[in-house]
């Protein structure tokens, strides 16, 4: 089957993000938390660890089922084991698959919990209410409480948008304008689309290859070159949030680029501010 897929559709064998420009990977995708591998995510995010715990228990429960069952039942558990093993491989590569792994491995955990409670009932006469207690570790909320906080100890390099910048109120100056094209760092794109009628050059969607690349290149460019490219692309508005992690990444990559200078409140005669003084989100209209 794998050979047939490789021969008929060789693109399926490429890296999932092979079409993304290296600049977009460097400035954005490599910093997105859900695109990290399991090792780095588990080390940095409590939320990942809370999902990982029931996945581990479920996988152990599946081994328990394989040990105890025979015949057709064992064959079925072997098939489930192959699926779970594949889910572990995907999760190790990219942690966004962890939610699917947790759901699939729950079958093994339920089997083990039921078997454990049955043994406890036979030995100590406990009621079936203990099934609920035995199943508690299958729920991520149980582990969130065990880890003491849902908040993650994220690495500062991972992209974490600043919510205050992307609320409806913060984007109000844009929502009052006639529909046009807005240039902003990638993470701001989704909120601009949600809260305004504006179109965006970039948004957190990895198939938007050309738009994301164009936005990053313009925001990294020296202001004179950025002005030329902004007008050539038909951009009417420029927006940037100095508190957002992706904007900070751009400023660090090009300290004299457009993003860094706008974050530093440097004025430009070709950009007219639309935001109020002290606003969390800086919005400009191209003159």
CB within 8 A of 198, min separation 6: which ones? Answer: 174, 175, 177, 179, 180, 181, 182, 192, 237
In the chain, domain spans: 36-146, 163-286
What's the confidence (pLDDT) of residue 20? Answer: 84
Mean predicted confidence (pLDDT) in 249-275: 94
Confidence of residue 276 (pLDDT cuts 50, 70, 90): confident
Q: What is the pTM of this model?
A: 0.73
CATH number of 163-286, picked from 1.10.10, 3.30.2420, 2.60.40, 3.40.50: 3.40.50
pLDDT number for residue 215 = 96
pLDDT tens sequence across 4-48: 766 777 767 776 677 788 899 888 888 887 778 888 777 677 677
Exposed/middle/buried for 196, CB within 10 Å: 0-12, 13-18, 19+? buried
């Amino acid at each position: 089957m794998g050979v047939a897929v490789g021969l008929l559709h060789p693109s399926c064998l490429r890296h999932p993000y092979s079409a993304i420009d290296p600049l977009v990977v460097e400035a954005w995708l490599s910093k997105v938390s859900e695109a990290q591998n399991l090792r780095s995510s588990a080390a940095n995010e409590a939320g990942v660890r809370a999902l990982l715990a029931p996945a581990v228990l479920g996988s152990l429960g599946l081994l328990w089922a394989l040990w105890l069952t025979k015949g057709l039942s064992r064959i079925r558990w072997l098939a489930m084991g192959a699926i779970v093993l594949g889910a572990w491989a995907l999760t190790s590569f990219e942690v966004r698959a962890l939610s699917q792994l947790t759901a699939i491995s729950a079958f093994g955990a339920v089997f083990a919990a039921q078997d454990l409670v049955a043994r406890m009932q036979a030995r100590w006469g406990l009621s079936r209410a203990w099934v609920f207690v035995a199943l508690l570790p299958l729920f991520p909320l149980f582990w969130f409480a065990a880890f003491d906080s849902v908040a993650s100890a994220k690495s500062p390099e991972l992209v974490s948008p600043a919510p205050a910048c992307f609320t409806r109120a913060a984007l109000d100056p844009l929502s009052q304008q006639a529909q046009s094209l807005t240039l902003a760092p990638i993470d701001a794109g989704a909120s601009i689309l949600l809260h305004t009628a504006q179109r965006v050059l970039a948004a957190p969607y990895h198939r938007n290859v050309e738009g994301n690349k164009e936005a990053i290149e313009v925001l990294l460019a020296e202001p004179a070159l950025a002005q030329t490219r902004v007008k050539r692309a038909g951009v009417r508005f420029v927006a940037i949030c100095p508190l957002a992690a992706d904007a900070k990444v751009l400023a660090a990559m090009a300290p004299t680029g457009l993003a860094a200078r706008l974050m530093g409140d440097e004025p430009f005669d070709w950009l007219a501010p639309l935001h109020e003084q002290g606003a969390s989100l800086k919005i400009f209209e191209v003159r």
